[in-house]
Amino acid sequence: MTQLATTIHGSIVAIVTPMFEDGSVDWDGLKQLVEWHIAQGTHSIVAVGTTGEASTLSMEEHIKVIAEIVRIADKRIPIIAGTGANSTSEAIELTQAAKEVGADAALLVTPYYNKPTQEGLFQHYKAIAEAVDLPQILYNVPGRTGVDMDNDTVIRLAKVANIVGIKDATGDIPRGIQLIHHLDPVDMVVYSGDDETAWELILAGARGNISVTANVAPHAMSQMCLAALDDNKAEAHRLNTQVSQLHDILFCESNPIPVKWALHEMGKIGTGIRLPLTPLAEQYRTPIRETLQATHVIETN
């Protein structure tokens, strides 16, 4: 098994980037969130992924958020930097910067919008891996990017030095299991990127879950992932059932709109979010509030 799999496993939160109403980054709020996650049992943090609004942060802000999370965590848990881009040169620049500020690994989404071929995807990731000596996790989320990386391409990339993992956010369990069975864990391990099905994929051999739900229910997601890693199917299913309503409601609008509003409702962050994303629509606020109460994330009055 890769060294990464022994150090990065379990519940991995794709953390939001707290902002003030004017859209500026709330650095004190970020520190409080990181400390809360560590106290709640979160096993690792993805800094500036999709949920962290990577697409609207400037390059300088992007690197500064990664550096700040690395500093706050102070090696207590591993930090994975979101450094993907649809420009290979930009992804290399971000990944190099993440290495320089002390990130433990990088998470690289498939290039979106320009829709590369499978060979283009292979060459993109190979170029980044050869340019930056940092453990790299591929990220396949076709529902978000419009690009789907075939299992065959992933298997090819597993033989490239520095490429050590993949976040599979397809939600397709048979496909994920097939990938796990075809990969040598010495070369590459699989992480779920789909909260609803994560417990099943971990039971099938995935090493953890890169999670949106963990933003609001970090302890529950941590315990669920540990149960699945221990091959305790009954307990993993029970724990997942406790928070399963969150998996659905937190995608009632585009991520991270609902999860940022939920965290604000919990008193964890302010209301800030950057255009073109907008605050949660009024019609979803009561359903999310009720779900937070039903799952005991917040207490009823």
**Which amino acids are annotated as binding site for pyruvate, given as ranges?**
51, 210
**Which pair of tokens denotes residue 105?**
């690994």
d(CA 179, CA 201): 11
Q: How far is CA 264 from the centre of its chain?
A: 20
Question: Which tokens go with 167?
Answer: 């976040």
Q: Are 225 and 243 in contact (CB under 8 A)?
A: no
Pick out the residues of the known binding site. 51, 210
Write the CB contacts of 42 (distance below 8 Å, at least 6 apart in sequence): 11, 12, 13, 77, 214, 218, 221, 222
Catalytic residues, by residue number, are 139, 167
**Amino acid residing at 54:** A
208 vs 124: CA distance, rounded Å: 25
> E-strand spans in the chain?
10-14, 44-47, 79-82, 105-109, 136-140, 163-168, 189-192, 208-211
- 69 Cβ contact partners less than 8 Å away, ≥ 6 residues apart: 15, 30, 34, 45, 47, 79
Q: φ and ψ at 275, to 5 degrees?
A: -60, 145
Contacts of 6 (CB under 8 A, 6+ apart): none
